[in-house]
């Protein structure tokens, strides 16, 4: 392993090349490779050193000289070249970039993902992910794309979807539209065309945070449209794509509120529970045709949705936003909010051939928040 090369210039010095970020890092158990992918600001050659500060402060645990590429990021195919071994799975990584006489560094602690290198066998599969512009939908889309699957990404914000298209190219097909609009469903089917479809993720933002007595009947009508109706309508359209091939994966991303109602979220509590009943009923009808139907019930995760909940509670208390957030995290047995990438990994498995014997289930992903025996 090479020693630390000569570094010149101040850390974080101003230059056109002072910005680089980690897109994701993945590692498996002890003595297995860790892999990191970096975005770079331009086409350039750099030399990166990787440190595990908690174990070997100041001693590089791996290095890799990146050659120049014509695009603005390291191609996906090169990721397996960057292998590093650790005596224990690292808690954090310090990356330093020496370029044009300047030293730049970034410290990654919260974004390391730990999961097995299991082959999910979905590299030739095609999926639909609804609500793919942010939050869970974005995380699931990226996870499937990293498995070399093809994904039809659906959401209102075309610019956000186009970012995925620019990064992953022909793996991505973009459908920009309102999921409650029948025209969007028509466009989804047109995009599928004659290609086989292997799975769909039903996911979208939740309704306003309201208590029962704060609601009016229009709130219930709107929540029904945005949380429940479109999922049932789209499911009806897509089931035949799966049954005709005797294979399919249908996954609904709902909330832990389907098992334990969350105060102040009555609209979400009610209609998401209805989706669970629909999914369970549907699962028994099509199980023998090779199609699974499951629900994920996430608890609090670092997504835009949880920020709205925190803000609502802040407005109704004398605490600051951070105080409310800390109290919510302290109430979770694992002591933190979940990461979208963690839920995405579970989703990818449920969408894979490995999960063929799991159907009709509502699976919690909540850090232990639901306290019932069958939570």
Burial class (CB in 10 A: 0-12, 13-18, 19+), 240: exposed
Per-residue tokens: 246: 């005797």
The Cα 289–Cα 283 span in angstroms is: 10
For range 22-38, the mean pLDDT: 34
- Average pLDDT of the segment spanning 306-323: 89
Query: Span 328-339, mean pLDDT?
Result: 92
Residue 163 has pLDDT above 60, yes or no: yes
Report the mean per-residue pLDDT for the chain: 76
CB proximity list for 373: less than 8 A, separation 6 or greater:
none
Q: Is the pLDDT of residue 48 over 50?
A: no
Q: Does position 347 have pLDDT exceeding 80, yes or no? A: yes
pLDDT tens-digit series, residues 52-93: 334 333 333 333 333 333 333 333 333 322 333 333 334 444
Q: What is the percentage of the chain residues whose pLDDT exceeds 70? A: 69
pLDDT band at 118 (very low <50, low <70, confident <90, very high): low
Confidence category of residue 316, pLDDT binned at 50, 70, 90: confident
Q: Is the pTM of this model over 0.75?
A: no
The most confident of the ranges 18-22, 99-103, 332-336, 360-364 is: 360-364
Domains of the chain: 21-114 (2.60.40), 126-365 (3.40.50.720)
- Measure CA of the first residue to CA of the last residue in the chain; give whole Å: 48
């Amino acid at each position: 392993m090479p020693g630390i090369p000569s570094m010149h210039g101040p850390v974080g010095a101003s230059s056109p090349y002072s910005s680089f970020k980690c897109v994701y890092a993945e590692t498996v158990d002890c003595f297995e490779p860790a892999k990191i992918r970096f975005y770079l600001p331009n086409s350039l050659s750099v030399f990166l050193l990787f440190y595990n500060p908690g174990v070997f402060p100041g001693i590089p645990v791996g290095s890799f000289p990146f050659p120049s590429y014509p695009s603005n990021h390291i191609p996906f195919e090169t990721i397996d070249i960057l292998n590093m071994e650790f005596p224990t799975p690292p808690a954090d990584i310090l990356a330093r970039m020496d370029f044009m006489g300047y030293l730049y560094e970034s410290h990654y602690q919260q974004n390391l993902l730990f999961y097995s290198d299991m082959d999910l066998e979905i590299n030739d599969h095609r999926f639909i992910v609804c609500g793919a512009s942010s939050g869970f939908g974005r995380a699931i889309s990226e996870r499937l794309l990293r498995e070399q699957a093809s994904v039809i990404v659906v959401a209102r914000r075309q610019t956000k979807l186009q970012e995925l298209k620019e990064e992953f190219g022909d793996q991505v097909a973009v459908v920009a539209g309102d999921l409650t609009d029948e025209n969007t469903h028509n466009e989804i089917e047109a995009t599928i065309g004659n290609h086989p479809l292997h799975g769909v993720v039903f996911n979208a933002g939740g309704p306003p945070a309201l208590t029962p007595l704060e609601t009016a009947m229009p709130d219930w009508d709107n929540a029904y449209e945005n949380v429940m109706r479109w999922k049932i309508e789209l499911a009806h359209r897509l089931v035949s794509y799966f049954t005709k091939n005797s294979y399919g994966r249908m996954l609904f991303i709902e909330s832990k509120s389907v098992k334990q109602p969350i105060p102040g979220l009555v609209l979400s509590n009610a209609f998401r529970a209805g989706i669970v009943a629909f999914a369970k009923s549907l699962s028994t009808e099509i199980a023998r045709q090779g199609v699974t139907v499951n629900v994920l019930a996430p608890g609090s995760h670092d997504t835009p949705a949880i920020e709205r909940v925190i803000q609502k509670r802040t407005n109704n208390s004398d605490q600051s936003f951070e105080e409310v957030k800390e109290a919510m995290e302290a109430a979770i047995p694992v002591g933190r909010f979940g990461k979208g990438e963690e839920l995405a990994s579970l989703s990818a498995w449920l969408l894979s051939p490995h999960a063929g014997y799991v159907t009709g289930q509502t699976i919690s992903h909540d850090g232990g928040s639901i306290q019932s025996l069958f939570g």
